[in-house]
Structure 1
């Protein structure tokens, strides 16, 4: 089979945007508003309400000001300082996210590192927990606005939310390109609405502006004992979409994302939180439905509709992110191959993974049915995101210290204060474990387990193949004096261990008793960069008149196309005709050995994952009419 091996070097890297038409800055900024800020943009629906309700009873004026101060300064420190100013600088060829940062850290250390790999896997696994919770809590929060406008619909809130969620996931196979053009304008209207609602109430209680003084937030935290700490878990809901700024950087670039936050999104959120705080100071009875009641009565139904659209967009953003993250994980060898469908002929990033899509839908619907309302779901929200943020900080220290040349001391000095804040948020969210906070950890833990089993199983299989199979150099020398029958044409053998004879070659020789005139050993490797240029895609090593080795290098966001890459052989002066070439693919049937290096339960999981792995012929786009599959049993 073809390798999904992880290659530690990135010398062949080049920009992913070669030859792509550049859009104007305002258009890209608008696009980033629609995709990047969907999650954090819908936080006002529930963050302020949950934070104030956490106090219990009717909070005092000083408590409201203190909580609003915590919300405001969380946005300033976590989003503006950490992500916009610092983390966005750590781009891997313009790409961001947990796995991209992991690859960047591996490159910075100039060697594979299991700790870095584990951190990247944990960050990716936690993202899936967040990706299932975000659509559930966001859509349910928006639909609950119907309680304010049409109280008679209260019994139908959950069915309506489920219907919207099912529709959202059902349309994924059609691609998001046509719908995405509306994301930016809708979210821009949403943020303008947030700002206007906030501005309309600040004058009701001007003392809310004292929340801009961080001392008020610090006072609340230190004067309310354990309550001040637990409220921090709800305050964190205001920054739950911050990781998206980094994860979606590759789609828009760091400059548009920064401009959108500093010039539009950030100010709109700050104004809305200040306005909600002033409204709460003026009318504490509105707390259970603070956001929707803060709008004028005539505008509440349109606001519910707009909020629902905004939450659908937020859900779309995490679905797209889950597809992209899964593609990266497959390429980096952290997950088995899954079916990937391309929904756009012009945009290579527009992909659809049916397995991921339907599993996420099942998870979201189950959450809504189980929790029933957004307040209960909010208790489960946050732990996965704080965990991801801490992973980002830890990997960031490695990149800053060794990739940027800061040195370990300076890197730790810069990141440590941010880590303290991340850790405080994590500790506050851990207090919600019994109320549902365990869910994202269970989801992330299951995915982490699958990744760990797949990585270990793949490594053991490759090690076993190298130990048991014949050395390729020895085999070539033996074939030079062998009387085996030679046939015309080229045979290409796909393998993950190019130093040994591919099992498909041995089986072909054993059963068909022939050897092709030309035999090429093909290995595909994945580099620690998102993209590898076509000019550096292929390396060709002639080993003898009858044998050669080809290595294909792909980035973890590249889409492997074996035939397209091999056509480059002609540019190297090597004759290559697909019509006279046969591709031999070994299909391994894995059995659990009596004595295995893996525990029995792990080997059973690995075997099931391997059986459900997507067909290599389709995944690597090998011409099906030129393929010969040769099966073999392997014990693990």
Structure 2
């Protein structure tokens, strides 16, 4: 869900952008997160493998688990299977939610809950990824000969915080300019880590035998609980896999697959092989000296000393790119959630005039920065923080797989047996990883769970609260035809111009019309009842956006439909919706009537009182609907009533 590029990629787009450019772009945006995993994944897994020094079986077992995680989870599940489950080219958990909703005829109960949980856990991931990846890169400074031993933990924390604060502070400028550098820098990064690994395989050539899965199986079966804890750390090798489907709309399926098989997977595999061989050589030295081998910063120590500083700088750039991808992913996810009605409206700033996907959401930006800052200050080093990482990602993967089952069975019409045959193995792997990570809740895994639970609570209260508000607003409402008949008997005064009444219910009479008649005792020459709806597709073509229905000479009903990744522009689309032969809208004589209800809490009806308080806070702080729909502020008339919720 990382919106560093925009727009669905179809056959026409392939002509506009060369395959090479799309593939390089995908390497920078899609694989930034998974590409920085070698910084800490192998180190952390080995660290948990033994309490009395690292053994040969652990090195081979961890390496085998890492390689087969990349093969089964990333290659088979995501690259080969899940990338087929796209929503008009778009992927990601909320795109799957929309697809699943289409399959079952609406977003109902369990499916909606799954989507909400997946979205909520992504925010936990969006906080941890920048903190962990940048901190692990800065920790590489400890391996600089002659300098590293003098660099304290506090200095590393301070440098990390400065980088992260700068990263979040420049978000409002957009990423269009710098994103052109993401791909080339990440290509250099993958070539560097692949070359670094290949250089060290000769340290212990037999390490290539770790490709046999029996090493992974025997390590897990002979180590019991420690094996599961190690598996939780091994999962760090596949964090970022969600981006493969989430970014389909930006680059297309083929460039992402090409990037994975041609560069990213070989580079990652070579690097992990190299770290394994380097660790085995270190183990032989330790055994010869008669001492136990403790875990080290294998990634940075593998590089020749004269290349250490350039590698740290390159790692820093790669982790900033990985963080950027997750941050823009959080913006994109939030935009989708708002459009799908899961979250209150927020201010969304377009940062690029030529690209609708280039957005910035101030509220999300500063909340993420606060979360990242607290994590770095609280955990203080990447090893402590690594415990918190896996749960959010494994939880999202479980949700993705469950939604994929609904899609293949209900929407693609696969038989139940075929659907289960494909989905159950993936779900089994997901649950094994999830179980392995749950063991680390006390060590820090509670952080993403707490963030996810908080977001889930907000979504749940907002969705329920909006339902209660809609019911209250629609109590006893009459139809437009009934209102027209009443007005024909007692005609009100008429004024020139057009009145546009925004309403969630296109069938009933908006309360704003009744308030206008009651207080102002006038009716405009032309009255349009406008409903804005979000469809279960990413983008609605301009020529399919509007539905215009004439009720009588006084009223017409207009429905504007947007995709969940579209940015609404109501005045522009409403003007385009007026049928040929009718007077066009004059922006200077068009007034938009917006309902602005005041909510009050009640113990006796609606939601429980504590949920009322949260709903009222969310409603009060939601972004002005008129500004969200890009309606000029000087053309807005706000009318409302008090509603008891």
TM-score category of the 2 structures, normalised to the smaller one: over 0.9
- State the match for 2:175 in structure 1: 176
Q: Is the 8 A contact 2:47 2:294 kept in 1?
A: no
Q: How far apart in 2 are the matches of 1:409 and 1:573?
A: 56
- Aligned partner (choices 55, 63, 74) of residue 79 of structure 1: 74
Q: How far apart in 2 are the matches of 1:574 and 1:627?
A: 23
- Superposed, 1:2-81 pairs within 5 Å as 22-56=16-50, 57-81=52-76
- Classify 1:18/1:516 alpha carbon distance in 2 versus 1 (closer, same or farther; 3 Å): farther
- Superposed, 1:421-432 pairs within 5 Å as 421-432=429-440
Deviation at 1:594, TM superposition (A): 4.3
- Aligned partner (choices 538, 552, 556) of residue 560 of structure 2: 552
- Classify 1:94/1:313 alpha carbon distance in 2 versus 1 (closer, same or farther; 3 Å): same
1:609 and 2:618 are equivalent in the alignment? yes
- Aligned partner (choices 370, 373, 384) of residue 378 of structure 2: 370
Deviation at 1:593, TM superposition (A): 2.7
- Aligned partner (choices 117, 120, 137) of residue 125 of structure 1: 120
Per-residue CA shift, 1:255-301, capped at 9, x if unaligned? Answer: 11000001110000000000000000001457321111011111111
1:91 and 2:47 are equivalent in the alignment? no
- State the match for 1:462 in structure 2: 470
- State the match for 1:7 in structure 2: none
427-436 vs 504-513, which moves further: 504-513
Q: How far apart in 2 are the matches of 1:256 and 1:15?
A: 13
Deviation at 1:157, TM superposition (A): 0.4
- State the match for 1:275 in structure 2: 274
Q: How far apart in 2 are the matches of 1:216 and 1:18?
A: 44
1:633 and 2:642 are equivalent in the alignment? yes
Deviation at 1:76, TM superposition (A): 0.2
Q: Secondary structure at the match of 1:334?
A: coil
- Superposed, 1:393-472 pairs within 5 Å as 393-472=401-480
Per-residue CA shift, 1:386-444, capped at 9, x if unaligned? Answer: 00001111000111112222122211111111111110000000000000101000000
Q: Secondary structure at the match of 1:368?
A: helix
Could you list the runs of 5+ residues in structure 1 that have no partner in the other structure?
A: 1-13
Q: Is the 8 A contact 1:490 1:581 kept in 2?
A: yes
Q: How far apart in 1 are the matches of 2:359 and 2:585?
A: 31
Q: How far apart in 2 are the matches of 1:277 and 1:19?
A: 45
Deviation at 1:17, TM superposition (A): 6.3
- Classify 1:298/1:446 alpha carbon distance in 2 versus 1 (closer, same or farther; 3 Å): same
- Superposed, 1:64-463 pairs within 5 Å as 64-149=59-144, 150-151=147-148, 152-155=150-153, 156-284=155-283, 285=293, 287-463=295-471
Q: Secondary structure at the match of 1:182?
A: helix
Q: How far apart in 2 are the matches of 1:356 and 1:573?
A: 45
Q: Is the 8 A contact 2:40 2:136 kept in 1?
A: yes
Q: How far apart in 2 are the matches of 1:146 and 1:299?
A: 12
RMSD: 1.5
Q: Is the 8 A contact 1:98 1:124 kept in 2?
A: yes
- Classify 1:218/1:572 alpha carbon distance in 2 versus 1 (closer, same or farther; 3 Å): farther
- State the match for 1:9 in structure 2: none
Q: Is the 8 A contact 1:122 1:448 kept in 2?
A: yes
Deviation at 1:231, TM superposition (A): 0.6
Q: Is the 8 A contact 2:480 2:551 kept in 1?
A: no
Q: How far apart in 2 are the matches of 1:16 and 1:330?
A: 24
Q: How far apart in 1 are the matches of 2:641 and 2:220?
A: 63
Deviation at 1:379, TM superposition (A): 0.7
Q: Is the 8 A contact 1:491 1:520 kept in 2?
A: yes
Q: Secondary structure at the match of 2:344?
A: coil
Q: How far apart in 1 are the matches of 2:228 and 2:635?
A: 64
Deviation at 1:549, TM superposition (A): 0.5
Deviation at 1:19, TM superposition (A): 7.8
Per-residue CA shift, 1:163-196, capped at 9, x if unaligned? Answer: 0000000000010011111101111111001111
- Classify 1:17/1:580 alpha carbon distance in 2 versus 1 (closer, same or farther; 3 Å): farther
Q: How far apart in 2 are the matches of 1:244 and 1:198?
A: 25
- State the match for 1:3 in structure 2: none
Q: Secondary structure at the match of 1:181?
A: helix
Per-residue CA shift, 1:472-525, capped at 9, x if unaligned? Answer: 332122112213222222211011122222111111111111112221100000
Deviation at 1:112, TM superposition (A): 3.3
1:505 and 2:513 are equivalent in the alignment? yes
- Classify 1:441/1:506 alpha carbon distance in 2 versus 1 (closer, same or farther; 3 Å): same
- State the match for 2:4 in structure 1: none
- State the match for 1:8 in structure 2: none
1:584 and 2:593 are equivalent in the alignment? yes
Per-residue CA shift, 1:580-603, capped at 9, x if unaligned? Answer: 222111211111134222111111
221-230 vs 376-385, which moves further: 221-230
Q: Secondary structure at the match of 1:326?
A: helix
Q: Is the 8 A contact 1:540 1:548 kept in 2?
A: yes
Q: Is the 8 A contact 1:466 1:499 kept in 2?
A: no
1:516 and 2:511 are equivalent in the alignment? no
Q: How far apart in 2 are the matches of 1:464 and 1:472?
A: 18
Q: Is the 8 A contact 2:548 2:578 kept in 1?
A: no
Q: Is the 8 A contact 1:465 1:497 kept in 2?
A: no
- State the match for 1:599 in structure 2: 608
Deviation at 1:215, TM superposition (A): 1.1
Give aligned pairs, total: 623
Q: How far apart in 2 are the matches of 1:572 and 1:551?
A: 17
